[in-house]
Amino acid sequence: MARGLFVTFEGGEGAGKSTQIRMLADTLRASGHEVVVTREPGGSPGAEAVRHVVLSGAAEPFGPEMEAILFAAARADHVDRTIRPALERGAIVLCDRFVDSSRVYQGVTGGLDPSFMEELERATVEDMMPDLTLILDIDPEEGLRRAGARRGASEADRFEKEALSLHRRRRKAFLAIAKAEPKRCRVIDASRPAAKIAAEIANAVQIAIERKGLPVKEATG
């Protein structure tokens, strides 16, 4: 059986990734595709445990290198237990963040050596690079406003609480990745109404599906 389609969603805080993944998953399932929705950090039992450690800020005092290693350990488990099996049976995998977030958050703004990040990536991702990466681009100030409205009275997580200047650097880093890898990455203007964004995303994914020649399957929920 042909490998399925691996689509990742990237971007800054409050860009609307979760909403767009949910809308796309509904569209694809309605068309008869098997869809697996997952996230990073997380997506498997071991990785979900690491998610709590990282987002709570418990690893922050140990520096970006330790955070990168924790993310890598979570990703290895995620790829092995969730992503690879789904792709091997021909499913479409939609993942909220993946390797590009590590490149940006721990690599660029964490100041880690590129060779160190490349070694971690090679060890954890192997042949599981995304077929398509959708970078939801939004002004960081607006994204943080949206993130704050979404969480309400809940406390900001490890990354949401950081300075606006750092979020702006991350936006530039995501756009730089898109420019460097245009065949894999597509930048989506996330400042527009959700329905317009969803339509553009659905079109991009449909093109990727057709290029892969994926057959329509019975939906599995």
* Residue 133 dihedral angles phi and psi, to the nearest 5°: -120, 125
Give a yes or no: residue 195 inside a domain. Answer: yes
Residue numbers of the domain that contains 144: 5-212
Name the band, by pLDDT with cuts 50, 70 and 90, for residue 32: very high
Cα dihedral sign, 209-105-44-198: negative
pLDDT surpasses 90 at 161 = no
Ranking 13-27, 56-70, 167-181 by mean pLDDT, the lowest is: 56-70
Q: Tell me, what's the pLDDT at 213?
A: 86
pTM as predicted? 0.88
Give a yes or no: residue 31 inside a domain. Answer: yes
| Mean local confidence (pLDDT), 151-175 | 77
Give a yes or no: residue 219 inside a domain. Answer: no
Give a yes or no: residue 136 inside a domain. Answer: yes
Q: What torsion, rounded to 10 degrees, do the Cα atoms 71, 73, 75, 76 define?
A: 160
Q: Which residue has the higher pLDDT, 58 or 87?
A: 87
Q: Tell me, what's the pLDDT at 46?
A: 86
Using an 8 Å Cβ cutoff, are 59 and 70 in contact? Answer: yes
Percent of the chain with pLDDT over 90: 66
Q: Tell me, what's the pLDDT at 148?
A: 75
Which alpha helices (H) appear in 31-88, and where do they start and end? Answer: 45-55, 64-78, 84-88
pLDDT surpasses 50 at 219 = no
pLDDT surpasses 80 at 72 = yes
**Domains held by the chain: number:** 1
| Mean local confidence (pLDDT), 171-199 | 97
Q: Tell me, what's the pLDDT at 165?
A: 86
Q: Tell me, what's the pLDDT at 81?
A: 95
In 10 A of CB 68, how many CB atoms? Answer: 22
Using an 8 Å Cβ cutoff, are 12 and 143 in contact? Answer: yes
Give a yes or no: residue 9 inside a domain. Answer: yes
Give a yes or no: residue 217 inside a domain. Answer: no
Q: Tell me, what's the pLDDT at 5?
A: 98
| Mean local confidence (pLDDT), 72-92 | 95
CA 31 vs CA 24, 38, 200: distances in Å: 11, 20, 17
Cα(78)–Cα(72) distance, integer angstroms:
10
Name the band, by pLDDT with cuts 50, 70 and 90, for residue 59: confident
Give a yes or no: residue 142 inside a domain. Answer: yes
Which residue type occupies 39? R
Average pLDDT of the chain is 89
Give the domain CATH number at 127. Answer: 3.40.50.300
Ranking 58-72, 81-95, 101-115 by mean pLDDT, the lowest is: 58-72
Q: Tell me, what's the pLDDT at 220?
A: 42
Using an 8 Å Cβ cutoff, are 83 and 38 in contact? Answer: yes
Residue range 113-153, pLDDT digits in tens: 999 999 999 999 988 999 999 999 999 999 888 877 776 66
